[in-house]
Amino acid sequence: MAKEEVALLGGGCFWCIEAVYRRVKGVTSAVSGYAGGALPDPDYRSVCSGTTGHAEVVRITYDPDTVSYEDLLDIFWVIHNPTTLNRQGADVGTQYRSVIYYHNDAQRDAAETAIEQAEAAFQDPIVTELAPAPQFYPAEAYHQNYYDLNPMQGYCQMVIAPKLQKFMTRFGEKLG
């Protein structure tokens, strides 16, 4: 039986992040949701108001014997812009911030190292928040697996599909 670990990442719209990580070999689950805010059991409308403090995140369950936490972070830097504060493209607000929530000291240390190493790939400083993992709240059912269920929707075509293509071009060997 494979062991499983959990990563909690936010890089803008959770639809984008989830769509990529669902395709990574060794990832057994990618669930869109909310974390980092003060309101218990938030919903999409309240999080989108920007007043709850939550970020749109994805809880990634994975087999570390197949894909490492470091690999997940390498993918993270490619599929979003960690240098824009509270923004990813046209999505603006604190809910779209770049964030790595760590579950233990090893994840924190790996994330700190990954941030330092990734700095060289960007002209601007990385502004990704690094914090202990807070309570995770799964998003509503209609947000789960959004890209695969709605591939022809405009946002999926214009925003998510290019991120998937970038991932597949760069990390094709990690496709599950």
How far is 102 from 122, CA to CA, in rounded Å? Answer: 23
- pLDDT of 173 strictly over 90: no
Phi, psi of 87 (to 5 degrees): -160, 140
**pLDDT at position 1:** 56
Average pLDDT, integer, range 83-111? 96
Q: Dump pLDDT digits (tens) for 102-156.
A: 999 999 999 999 999 999 999 999 999 999 999 999 999 999 999 999 999 999 9
Q: How many domains are there within the chain?
A: 1
Q: Dump pLDDT digits (tens) for 18-59.
A: 999 999 999 999 999 999 999 999 999 999 999 999 999 999
How far is 139 from 166, CA to CA, in rounded Å? Answer: 26
How far is 118 from 12, CA to CA, in rounded Å? Answer: 18
Q: Which residues span the domain enclosing 20?
A: 5-174
- Tell me the whole-structure pTM to 2 decimals: 0.95
54 conformational bin, left if phi > 0, alpha if psi -120 to 50, beta if neither: beta
Catalytic, 13? Answer: yes
- Kindly report the CATH number assigned to the domain that includes residue 47: 3.30.1060.10
Which of 13, 16, 48, 156 is an active site residue? 13
Beta strands in the chain (DSSP E): 5-11, 27-35, 55-62, 87-88, 91-92, 98-102, 129-132, 136-138
Which one, of 79, 70, 68, 74, lies nearest residue 20 by Cα? Answer: 79
